[in-house]
Structure 1
Amino acid sequence: MATLAPHQPAEFTHWSDHRIDDADLAHIPGEGGWPVVGNTFRMLADPHAFTRRMVDTYGRVYKTKAFGGWQVALIGADANELLLFDRGKNFSSEQGWGPILDKLFPRGLMLMDFDHHRADRRALSIAFKPEPMRHYSGSLNRGIARQVEAWGTGDMRFYPSIKELTLDLAADSFIGIEWGPEADKINRAFIDMVQAAVAPVRHPLPFTQMKRGVDGRKFLVEYFTRETHRRRAEGGGQDMFSQFATATHEDGSLMPVDEVVDHMNFLMMAAHDTITSSATSLVWLLAKHPEWQEKLRQEVEAVTGGPDANGKPRDLAYEDLGKLELTEMAFKEALRMIPPVPSTPRRALREFEYGGYRIPAGTHVGINAHFVHHEEEHWDNPWSFDPLHFTPDKVKARHKYAWVPFGGGAHMCLGLHFAYMQVKILMAQLLPRYRIELVGGDPEWQAWPIPKPKDGLQIRLEAL
């Protein structure tokens, strides 16, 4: 377990303050890797194998050099709880994500700490209250039904198809508009920004991925700034952007426009790419396990009442979302096996001890959800797809932080219920129409920055 040094004010205001050097961490086992680049390329090539090797070699607390500096990994459910719950406000999310996202998603909700984070989270939470969520559910049903029917039968690459659909859904539910000619530019900007987050070259030099990411951010900032001013002038609206644009703090003041833009930029990225990844992993696993695919299909039809008079699937009512219990368990299992955020960084604001090691203030530390999600200590047959891992009795008996795809503590994902809703509606529209089959065997998955199948996930849809 962990112990902390006596409480003291945070010593650092930016992630680049007081860089940890070799001597600071000499007592912690691990390795620095190659000159200049450290272990960056080894981690990017196969992060899960890299973590397993480091744990096997050095134990559950180890150091490694990557992305320009030293990091200390803390592996296990207890470590997840220590960093995510953070009772004593000892770990900075802003300074943890800073080296990765500072040039791309500054001031996103995930990059805020303590009182500032609490105030902005409270203001933004209005977008996830029941009435806006009910509005989103109607938009999601319409958009998903239209596109899933358009897919038709035959072979397809699921990942790019669902990525396009989630962007369209974000346009409707988040911004309340139909995308025009700017759609491709917006999509390209998001892709460039996410890929730049783990680019080995961390400066926006010409022709680098980081330069493309920074340019993508510039484009989106200009777009969302125009839209924020327009929404404030028009007032009202149930879409997420209108809710953000008119959100107020406890004193009644409007959030500054540039902060609205940064929050919208970050949440669009988070909703777009993480839902794309998690929906893809669920469809892949259901294609591999037709018995579970059929169980979910039967549950959906029992809840929605089966096809309508025209033989088409009925919409999933907002009030019925909670009734898809097996579907939710299957989705949670997909998130366990392929968490869309495989690891989470923080920065220690004061010295602490964990696993028998003293870790100095200023150290960049991180936890690994993917590793813990596959530990036999918490999961029977951890490499097998089994939604029954999430029966109420098993959840109750398990360490609360053994499953953390949405993070935890004060930084628990603000949009997690939106994610559940979108995936449940996708299943309600997809499964009654088609039988999903895998084409060409299991795909190879790219693990970072957000997991995706390298071949786009080749599947076949057969009409039922």
Structure 2
Amino acid sequence: MGFSALVASALCTFLLPLLLFLAAVRLWDLYCASGRDPSCPLPLPPGTMGLPFFGETLQMVLQRRKFLQMKRRKYGFIYKTHLFGRPTVRVMGAENVRHILLGEHRLVSVQWPASVRTILGSGCLSNLHNGQHKHRKKVIMRAFSRDALQHYVPVIQEEVSGCLTRWLGAGPCLLVYPEVKRLMFRIAMRILLGFQPRQAGPDGEQQLVEAFEEMIRNLFSLPIDVPFSGLYRGLRARNIIHAKIEENIRAKMARKEPEGGYKDALQLLMEHTQGNGEQLNMQELKESATELLFGGHETTASAATSLIAFLGLHHDVLQKVRKELQVKGLLFGPNQEKQLDMEVLEQLKYTGCVIKETLRLSPPVPGGFRIALKTLELNGYQIPKGWNVIYSICDTHDVADLFTNKDEFNPDRFMSPSPEDSSRFSFIPFGGGLRSCVGKEFAKVLLKIFTVELARSCDWELLNGPPTMKTGPIVYPVDNLPAKFIGFSGQI
């Protein structure tokens, strides 16, 4: 082969693909820039759009917190990117987030990535709009009224107490996060869907837990449904969950009257559908039930695990919780064994502040997705119509000016309503506006009962020290938080 042939071969092998790649990147940049609305004089936010088609999705999924921190340092509180197949603007800071959350149905509308919409389904609350969303939310809210929550308290207390007893006999090392997830799953199954413990059995329960974990791992994936893709695996896991939920729905339809003396959220949805003379849509009920289970156990498991981590690292805070319980007569003597109720729980102000501070530093859900209904202006930039908007909960907490010594775990900051409680958009662990979390009062009650039972039953040591937290999509400890639990000695 002559020299010229070698050169030609090298060009074809190395240079031509490189040139094609660079041309594709340039065309991608031009395509992304063309998304700017020429009728608006403001520029697009700063930022980069990543690789053709993939955008910056892979970096975000693989690096998550590191990626987001780098973006915030480089571009500030508003920046553009390209995630999950869509041009996206990420927004943080109380004022910016307030503008987005209060613009629901007027400036923006909820739109989760295609993979989330496909897996959770069009019939769940998160994917409904306008009147349909308002109507469905009103029905579900009946399951979280104060009277309904009072019915749930003894069920939660029974499950938590039994779980902690098992932890105390677990030996020198217990992986907290998987155990908490299983506990919260059992509570959500009983309260939100009316499953009784005997229905699934330990093997069936474990199968459901594993299916949920597989579904959640693949919620945020590229919208490609081919064998072995994230979306394919997520849909397969969801179908296992749907099959079990359908069994439960049919059992409810045959039984007519609910067990346990209260109506769970699924029962209320079924009654509402039948009461309006509508045809019972099994698919929508399954999608709604799956969403309730997702929201009712994954987020609370994340928060409860963070509670254990923070209290394990800050023994002085745990002792202050115990002193509050002692003042209320809940730490020693016969009152420790009596069942809690809503009135008693509402009096535990400091315990509530511990939960708030946990949610400030480690919010289970990092943010929410919207789509711009029209080109809107935000802090000197334009967000073009049709672009996705992500409002960041974790970053908004991080940059909130109202919080002093932001990295410090200090529940006392919430004991006074001023100044750090004065801006509702500086502290948004449950979102805000029309789409704030429908189950937030349930979550608060559940976490407060968990904290009370934990504080008066257990002492524990974090075997690996402060955990490294990861998002996928819910916040969790990378090492599953190994800990050693022993019975509370009674010393405060």
TM over 0.5: yes
Any residues of structure 2 matched to 1:283-432 within 5 Å, and which? 283-309=308-334, 313-375=337-399, 377-394=401-418, 398-432=422-456
Q: Report what 1:207 is aligned to.
A: 228
Alpha-carbon distance change, 352 to 459 in structure 1, aligned in 2, over 3 angstroms: same
Query: How big is the shift at 1:67?
Result: 1.6
1:197 and 2:204 matched: no
Q: 1:167 aligns to what?
A: 185
Task: Write the distance in 2 (CA, Å) between the matches of 1:144 and 1:27.
Answer: 50
Identity %: 25
- Equivalent pair of 1:350/1:361 in contact (CA under 8 Å): yes
Alpha-carbon offset, residue 397 of structure 1: 5.5
Q: Which 10-residue stretch deviates more, 224-233 or 332-341? A: 224-233
Q: CA deviation at 1:74?
A: 1.9
How far apart, in 1, do the equivalents of 2:138 and 2:347 lie? 28
Alignment-mate amino acid for residue 97 of structure 1: W
Residue aligning to 1:47: 64
Tell me, yes or no, if the aligned pair for 1:196 and 1:209 is still in contact at 8 Å. yes
**Matched letter for residue 177 of structure 1:** Q
Please state if 1:275 is matched with 2:289. no
2:458 maps to 434
1:77 and 2:94 matched: yes
Unaligned runs of 5+ in 1: 1-19
Q: 1:227-254: per-residue Cα shift (whole Å, max 9, x none)?
A: 2232133223223332332235995757
- 2:137 aligns with 121
The CA RMSD measured in Å over matched residues stands at 2.3
Aligned partners of 1:190, 1:376: CA distance in 2, in Å?
Answer: 34
Could you say which structure has the higher helix fraction? Answer: 2
SS at match of 2:191: helix
What corresponds to 2:3 in structure 1? none
Which residue does 1:9 correspond to in 2?
Answer: none
Q: Matches of 1:304 and 1:249 in 2, distance apart? A: 46
Higher mean C-alpha displacement, 62-71 vs 450-459: 62-71
Deviations 1:384-423 (A, max 9, x none): 1111221232366632201111011111111111111111
- Whether the 8 Å contact between 2:175 and 2:482 is mirrored in structure 1 is yes
**In structure 2, what is the Cα distance between the partners aligned to 1:144 and 1:304?**
20
The answer as to whether partners of 2:86 and 2:387 remain within 8 angstroms in 1 is no
Query: Aligned partners of 1:273, 1:312: CA distance in 2, in Å?
Result: 28
| Alignment-derived partner of residue 444 in structure 1 | 468
Partner of 2:163: 147
Q: Is the 2:115–2:219 Cα contact (8 Å) retained in structure 1? A: yes
The answer as to whether partners of 1:313 and 1:429 remain within 8 angstroms in 2 is no
Q: Please, which of 35, 40, 44 is the counterpart of residue 24 of structure 1?
A: 35
2:250 matched to 1:233? no
**Structure 1's 415 and 108: CA in aligned 2 closer, same or farther, altered over 3 A?**
same
> Which of 198, 207, 221 is the matching residue for 1:185?
207
- State how far apart, in whole Å, the 2-side matches of 1:400 and 1:254 are: 41
Deviations along 1:100-122, whole A, 9 cap, x unmatched?
41121123212222211001111
> Do 1:74 and 1:365's aligned partners in 2 also have CA atoms closer than 8 Å?
yes
Distance 1:84 1:220, change over 3 A: same
Unaligned runs of 5+ in 2: 1-30, 37-42
Runs of 4 or more, structure 1, over 4 Å off, are 248-255
What one-letter code is carried by the residue in structure 2 that aligns with 1:119? H
In the alignment of these two chains, the number of paired residues is 441
CA distance in 2, matches of 1:408, 1:252: 33
Shifted more, 249-258 versus 277-286: the winner is 249-258
Q: CA deviation at 1:221?
A: 1.9
Larger of the two Rg values belongs to structure? 2
Task: Say if 2:59 and 2:67, in contact at 8 Å, map to a contact too.
Answer: yes
TM-score, structure 1 normalization: 0.89
> Would the aligned equivalents of 1:329 and 1:390 in 2 still touch at CA under 8 Å?
yes
